[in-house]
Amino acid sequence: MARKFFGTDGIRGRTNAGVMTAATAMKVGQAAGAFFLRGDHRHRVVIGKDTRLSGYMMESAMVAGFTSVGMDVVLLGPMPTPAVAMLTRSMRADLGVMISASHNPFEDNGIKLFGPDGYKLSDEDELAIEALLATEIPLADASEVGRARRIEDARGRYIHAIKASLPDNVRLDGLRIVVDCANGAAYNVAPSVLWELGAEVIAIGVEPNGRNINLNVGSTSLQALKDKVREVRADIGIALDGDADRLIVVDEKSQAVDGDQIMALIGSQLHRQGKLTGGGVVATVMSNLGLERYLQALGLTLERTSVGDRYVLERMREGGFNLGGEQSGHMILADHATTGDGTIAALQVLAALVDSGKPASELLHQFDPVPQLLKNVRFDAKASGGKPLDKQAVKDVIAHAEAQLTGRGRLVIRPSGTEPVIRVMAEGDDAAEVEQVVDTICDAVRKAA
């Protein structure tokens, strides 16, 4: 069955256009609610959101959808995605919903669904809900319509869970930390966690107004964090995204540290402590070859998956791994969370910083990255038939590039799951060769499109 609504990470799009309308949100609530009406208990769904303007509209629509099929709704208000996953499980809910478009601008929004175990839904469950969206969903009898209520202590519950990811004796006294919350879902939570653990906290991106989420702040826009780290002479800077499920770090020299280096640090720490399970780390095809070589030198493996933290998590669960993530900053620590959690990952980095006594620039440089280049080629889907990678001329160029890099590097080419863009990534020991390969493929895609 072709997917109309669900992409690589739930449903996402521009507000009031395409699939991201109030009408669709209500229908998704009805379909997901009907799908999870199992057993004769009173059914419950937990709903959180980030801080974008359309969150009010989408939240109300989903409440209408869920209550109309007989589900009770618990509203969390603005909370990180991992908080929704955690509270879904701890409150024994049948379903969890996060209304967020993650790192996208405020004009976009999205819907992420979690099962009662706190994990994102499988492809099979999403397809089943898609099928229901095309049907007339039975509504509850008037006497069985659901209720909705808002809980006030969600923030405290989540803060307690985050702090529990560290031993009781770990404190952050003496650390000056800049935390950038992207004017998003963690604007209240992350600074509080760091302060309660003893750090001196300078917070930016903590004044959401509905329109400024991810705007020149957060993990995809690091300049404000770099400037503030330099200005206040901080020991480290922490950048979260709009829904706080990813982490990028800035060291005391204002240099950015990506998810690969963070995984290398946390993975090596867990390995030395005898706590790393699965024999390695799970990451995507986009992670740097340098990370793979670093782990191999420690006797560990790097298992690669398709792009998307849900695929990383699926492989982690299959293979018994407790650490995985993405170069873009999604960090999954399975001992503490069922999805990516930027704040929990940040605490592991900060604990290592305290323990080592080293500056962040030294601690977070675990390996030398192999030269890597990623370029995006946007194309006209209608004019190209939507599949420029199927053109023989493009296939020939790609085949030649793969042969050229054999034994010296890697090539990853993939279409975006959410927009008409082809992503071309190559890496290898020769930076000039990597650039030449990427440019040649991009030119071929443009001509074909």
Do 40 and 96 lie in one domain? The reply is: yes
Are both 192 and 258 inside the same structural domain?
yes
- Does 80 lie in the same domain as 132? yes
68 Cβ contact partners less than 8 Å away, ≥ 6 residues apart: 26, 29, 30, 33, 139, 140, 145, 146
What's the confidence (pLDDT) of residue 386? Answer: 65
What is the domain extent for residue 147?
6-152
Residues 49 and 103 in one domain: yes
3-class secondary-structure state, position 304: strand
pLDDT at 407: 84
Average pLDDT in the chain: 95
Output the six-digit token pair for 304.
């690669």
Domain closes at, from 304, 331, 363: 363
Give the separation between CA 382 and CA 365, rounded to whole angstroms.
45
Whether residues 253 and 271 share a domain: the answer is: yes
How confident is residue 418, by pLDDT bands cut at 50, 70 and 90? low
| Structural domain ending residue among the three candidates 135, 152, 169 | 152
Phi first, then psi, for residue 108 (nearest 5°) are: -95, 160
Q: Evaluate whether residue 294 is within a structural domain.
A: yes
Residue 135 and residue 37 share a domain? yes
418: enclosing H helix or E strand: none
Does residue 102 carry a catalytic annotation?
yes
**Identity at 289, one-letter amino acid code:** L
pLDDT of residue 420: 86
Based on the fold, state whether residues 194 and 319 are members of the same structural domain. yes
Q: What is the C-alpha to C-alpha distance for residues 62 and 73, in angstroms, rounded to an integer?
A: 9
Q: 211 in a domain, yes or no?
A: yes
Task: Give yes or no: residues 16 and 107 share one domain.
Answer: yes
Are 10 and 112 in contact, with CB atoms under 8 Å apart?
Answer: yes
From CA 85, how far away is CA 337, in angstroms rounded? 8
- Same domain membership, residue 377 and residue 277: no
Q: 55-68 vs 22-35: helix axis angle to the nearest 10?
A: 40
Sheet holding 108-114, edge to edge: 6-7, 10-14, 108-114, 95-99, 44-49, 72-78, 148-150
Rounded CA-CA distance 48/413 in Å is 34
Residue type present at position 372? Q
| Residue 1 forms part of a structural domain | no
Instruction: Please write the tens of the pLDDT for every residue from 194-252.
Output: 999 999 999 999 999 999 999 999 999 999 999 999 999 999 999 999 999 999 999 99
Q: Count structural domains, the chain.
A: 3
Q: E-assigned strands of 29-101?
A: 44-49, 72-78, 95-99
Query: Which regions of 181-225 does DSSP assign to beta strands (E)?
Result: 200-204
pLDDT band at residue 188 under the 50/70/90 scheme: very high
Instruction: Calculate Rg over the CA atoms of the chain.
Output: 22
Domain-terminating residue out of 89, 117, 152: 152
pLDDT attached to residue 307? 87
Give the residue-averaged pLDDT of 393-397. 93
Residue 216 lies in a domain: yes
- How confident is residue 9, by pLDDT bands cut at 50, 70 and 90? confident
Sequence letter at residue 373? L
What b/e readout covers 201-238, taking b as 16+ CB neighbours within 10 angstroms? bbbbbbebeeebbbbebbbbbbebbbebbeeeebbbbb
447 or 182, which is more confident: 182
Q: How would you classify the pairing of strands 44-49 and 6-7?
A: unpaired
Q: At 242, which CATH number?
A: 3.40.120.10
376 and 357 within one domain = no
Residue 312 is inside which H or E element, if any?
Answer: helix 309-319
pLDDT band, very low/low/confident/very high, at 392 (cuts 50, 70, 90): very high
Q: Is a pLDDT exceeding 80 seen at residue 66?
A: yes
Same domain for 143 and 192, yes or no, is no
Average pLDDT in the 13-40 region?
95
Residues 176 and 116 in one domain: no
- How confident is the model at residue 11, as a pLDDT? 94
Among residues 102, 165, 268, 328, the one annotated as catalytic is 102
- pLDDT for position 4: 84
pLDDT tier for residue 408 given thresholds of 50, 70 and 90: confident
Type and span of the H or E element at 264 = helix 259-272
Of the pLDDT bands very low, low, confident and very high (cuts 50, 70, 90), residue 384 is: low
Query: Does a structural domain hold residue 393?
Result: yes
Helix, strand or coil, per DSSP, at residue 124 = helix
CATH number at residue 409: 3.30.310.50
Residue 385, pLDDT > 80, answer no
Task: Please give the C-alpha separations between residue 308 and each of 80, 114, 320, in angstroms, as whole numbers.
Answer: 18, 15, 18
Token readout for 365 is 């440089």
Q: Is the pLDDT of residue 379 over 90?
A: no
Cα gap 144→384, rounded to integer Å: 51
Average pLDDT over residues 122-145: 95
Q: What is the structure's pLDDT at 81?
A: 97
